[in-house]
Structure 1
Amino acid sequence: MAGTVVFDLDGTLADTSGDLIAAANACFEGRGLGPLLDPVGDALIAFHGGRAMLRAGYARIGADTLLPPGAEDDDYARLLDHYGQRIAVHTRLYPGTEDALDKLAAAGHILAVCTNKPEGLAEILLRELGIRDRFAALIGADTLPVRKPDPRPYAAAVRSAGGEVTRSFLVGDTETDRKTAAAAGVKVALVAFGPEGEGLARLAPEAMLAHFDDLPDLAEDWLGR
């Protein structure tokens, strides 16, 4: 049985923070509040989701500025619409991504994506980045009734790709990915090249990846050939 390598998307395969922040700022600007989030300084917030970005921005407006009831829900819908239309303007794959994927496939490993990005947006983004065909399965935030860190989306990604959970591991960039792997009973490699960098070592993952060049050897060690 071939081994399966499952990837998170945002902050793991690609730096999507610029386009996510732009979508949130478009919502704030639509309310006359200006661009409340900084594309560089607030990059880490972007990887916690659309609502997290909106709340971070709202927290920065003056106390005399009142938002109407339901503002967050309305802005979240606008954020998704804006993001879907401009999903790959600033987004770039992390260095070595494609080469690592090619080497994993050449070694006989199955590849899959398990993300908390809505499935439709994840499909669009992976196609825009030119790597959708590398993955045998994609499970998004709304594919199942539950999302990470619940282990069921991870298990669904592995099995939909034709693999076995016991011969798989996760590559991610957040505490959510660490918790997902623990709940699924698999190892996790967290990337050290995302916004939080080496700080993720505090989560005690089985491995930290300094660069995607290190992933093929790690997969051979954990899954064999």
Structure 2
Amino acid sequence: MRSVIFDLDGTLADTSGDLIAAANACFRQIEGRDVLDPETDQGVALRGGRRMLSVGLERLGRYEPDVVEAFYPVLLEAYAEDIARHSVLYPGAMEAVAALSASGYGVGICTNKPEHLADMLLQRLGVRDAFAALVGADTLKVHKPDPEPLREAARRVGGDPAKTLLVGDSDTDRNTAKAAGVPSVLVTFGPSGADMAALQPEALLERYEDLPALVARLIGANS
């Protein structure tokens, strides 16, 4: 079976608002105020919790790796407590997922979000059942850009890892697919969309309506 594996944050859903809120909960403990801006720091948010903490601490002139590690569990706890207040699925995302599934592709998720948080978010958004597999940052001993989580996601949906495609929004996703020897499609509607062309993926995606045709062109149709 051919499969299509999706990244989560910045690809299927805009989760930046809730991620930034969790980081700012940490900064209120550290500095007594919010540091990250929900409007201008979306790209920072989608690089993960440690990146948000690092950027905020650098702005405060207080960056220390030990502080990042100390507050990372605090950030995750704050995020879990209010994980879907602002997060929304991108327009057309689930319609594309349904169309791919109906065409016989295995559909799953490979994310660098901890698995339990990814599962919680998908449940809250009401779409967990649409994906046959979920591989998170801590599912295996390695995470993206190591290719093994992508391959494992393909296997878990019943697919051949050599006949899969990764839909993502970052250099991490591009490098993961490249390491696995499979094509990647990078979305251009996220916070870092303008930077995706420079990564030279096999295709760019401006709107989800175009994804099924791109998939068929890049990895073929399931017979």
Which TM-score band (shorter chain)? over 0.9
Q: Which residue matches 1:219? A: 215
Cα displacement (A) at 1:26? 0.5
**Secondary structure of 1:83's match?**
helix
Q: Which residue matches 1:124? A: 120
Contact 2:54 2:63 in 1 (8 A): no
Contact 2:146 2:179 in 1 (8 A): yes
- Matched to 1:124, the amino acid is M
Cα displacement (A) at 1:69? 8.8
Q: How does 1:183-198 map to 2 (within 5 A)?
A: 183-198=179-194
Q: Which residue matches 1:16? A: 15
**Secondary structure of 2:104's match?**
coil
Q: Residues 145-175 of structure 1: CA distance to partner in whole angstroms, max 9, x if unpaired?
A: 1000000111100011110012110000000
Q: Which moved more, 1:6-15 or 1:161-170?
A: 161-170
The TM-score, its normalising length taken from structure 2, stands at 0.95
1:92 aligns with 2:91: no
> Alignment length, in residue pairs?
221
Cα distance in structure 2, aligned partners of 1:119 and 1:69: 24
Contact 2:18 2:84 in 1 (8 A): yes
Q: Which residue matches 1:176? A: 172
Q: How does 1:57-72 map to 2 (within 5 A)?
A: 57-61=56-60, 63=61, 70-72=66-68
Q: Residues 60-79 of structure 1: CA distance to partner in whole angstroms, max 9, x if unpaired?
A: 11x5xx68994222211110
Cα distance in structure 2, aligned partners of 1:123 and 1:81: 15
Q: Which residue matches 2:25? A: 26
Q: Which moved more, 1:29-38 or 1:163-172?
A: 29-38
Q: How does 1:99-110 map to 2 (within 5 A)?
A: 99-110=95-106
- Matched to 2:46, the amino acid is F
Q: Which residue matches 1:53? A: 52
1:40 aligns with 2:36: no
**Secondary structure of 1:100's match?**
helix
Q: 1:165 to 1:67 in 2, by over 3 A?
A: closer
Cα displacement (A) at 1:198? 2.8
Cα distance in structure 1, aligned partners of 2:194 and 2:187: 8
Q: 1:67 to 1:10 in 2, by over 3 A?
A: closer
**Secondary structure of 1:60's match?**
helix
Cα distance in structure 1, aligned partners of 2:162 and 2:66: 44
- Matched to 1:141, the amino acid is A
The root-mean-square deviation of aligned C-alpha atoms, in Å, is 1.4
Cα displacement (A) at 1:32? 3.4
Cα distance in structure 2, aligned partners of 1:208 and 1:160: 26
**Secondary structure of 1:10's match?**
coil
Cα displacement (A) at 1:13? 0.3
Q: 1:68 to 1:215 in 2, by over 3 A?
A: closer
Cα distance in structure 2, aligned partners of 1:29 and 1:68: 17
The TM-score, its normalising length taken from structure 1, stands at 0.94
Unaligned runs of 5+ residues in structure 1 are none
Unaligned runs of 5+ residues in structure 2 are none
Runs ≥4 in structure 1, deviation > 4 angstroms? 66-69
